[in-house]
Amino acid sequence: MNWLPPYRTLAQSGELAERVKVLQALASPCRLCPRACNVDRHEGRTGTCGLPCGAIIAAATVHFGEEPEISGTHGSGTVFFGGCNLRCVYCQNESISQGAAMRLQTPASASDIAETFIELAGRGAHNINWVTPSHVVPWALAGLDLAAAKGLSLPLVFNSSGYDSVETLKLLDGVVDVYLPDLRYSDEETARDLSGVDGYVAAARAALVEMARQVGTDNQFGPDGTIRRGMIVRLLVLPNDLAGIRESLSFLRDELGTGLRIALMAQYFPTARAAGEILLSRPTSVGEYQRVVELAERMGFDNALVQEIEAQDFYRPDFDRGREPFADADSFRPRTESVPAVHDRHRG
């Protein structure tokens, strides 16, 4: 019998619909994410993420620029949700995460969201990849419930900044197949300065532990080599050691083990308001990135994904293009298949 994602069973039993109701209640007053703005989004009020009820689909495409086991050969069915619960000065997606125009858009209905997932599946995507979903979980889940009833059977990837509430995550237990969180900082003051958030480090660390509890760190794969269940933690190497990666690696080693799949991201470049921040106003250097790679190896991480520094020239979405944010989605394909832009420091 073909593999089916566990959310199919939850959808059939009515459990997904019940969880949607519980999650919607968490938005009134809103504590869907660790900000706990306590605004009533059902009454049209907005908190830091800028959205009342509902999810906005800013872009949806088959994307080849994710980790190899996420993109595979046919791409990841990536859905970029508008709005965000962080306020990063260097946000690569600022026009959809923090832009005023985004907030004025009409939220997508559950059936629109479901159709988007199904359309991506029809394009051959290996998975459905929710990008920045933390503030729209109830409405994205309602779409998943409808899509599951229509036969969607791809793994669900939850691709977030890591600033997720454990309470919300617990309601995704058995729903999310693959967690793909960032761990951006190890110092609360830096998180406050660069992402406008209090308590990021504590919240993200608790979230990652909960994610690992749900899906484990011993990743499982389908016959085509794409991931079906598990977790990948992304560490973006910022210039001038602003991300505090040594401390984040220490936390990951101690709590989740050195077999954890980590992606060491070289792609930082100054964008959005970063040009005005002296320490962020240049790309990460080759030397800075290389030191992080060597550090991870010395600490025993044997399942790391390492990029070439040229990654700074790729993976740059342009959301003015509409739902297809990459000028040529297929342009990612050769880099992961025939050019060694990504090195897999995989055990064994």
Determine, following the binding rule CB under 6 A, whether residue 98 of this chain makes contact with ligand SF4: no
One character per residue 12-31, x = contact with ligand SF4 (rule: CB under 6 A): ------------------xx
Question: Can you read off the two tokens belonging to residue 347?
Answer: 């055990």
What sign does the CA torsion over 77, 82, 88, 91 have?
A: positive
Shortest reach from residue 276's CB to ligand SF4, in Å: 24
**Does residue 126 touch ligand SF4 according to CB under 6 A?**
no
Based on the shown chain and the rule CB under 6 A, indicate whether residue 47 belongs to the binding site for ligand SF4.
yes
| 49: contact with ligand SF4 by CB under 6 A | yes
User: Measuring CA to CA, which residue among 298, 303, 179 is closest to residue 250?
Assistant: 298
Q: How do strand 342-346 and strand 303-307 relate by DSSP bridges?
A: antiparallel
According to the binding rule CB under 6 A, does residue 48 interact with ligand SF4? yes
Q: Which is nearer to ligand SF4, 32 or 262 (CB)?
A: 32
17 DSSP β-pair partners: none
Between 8 and 103, CB nearer to ligand SF4: 103
Residue 274 · residue 313 · CB < 8 Å: no
Residues 226-237, buried b or exposed e (16+ Cβ, 10 A)? bbbbbbbbbbbb
Closest CB to ligand SF4 among residues 33, 113:
33
Decide if residue 39 touches ligand SF4 (CB under 6 A): yes
Is 85 a binding residue for ligand SF4 by CB under 6 A? The answer is yes
CB 8 within 8 A of CB 148: yes
Is residue 162 part of the contact set for ligand SF4 (CB under 6 A)? no
CB nearer to ligand SF4: give 30 or 263.
30
CA distance 293 to 198: 28
The tokens for 330 are: 């297929």
Rule CB under 6 A: which residues touch ligand SF4? 30-33, 35-37, 39, 47-49, 85, 135
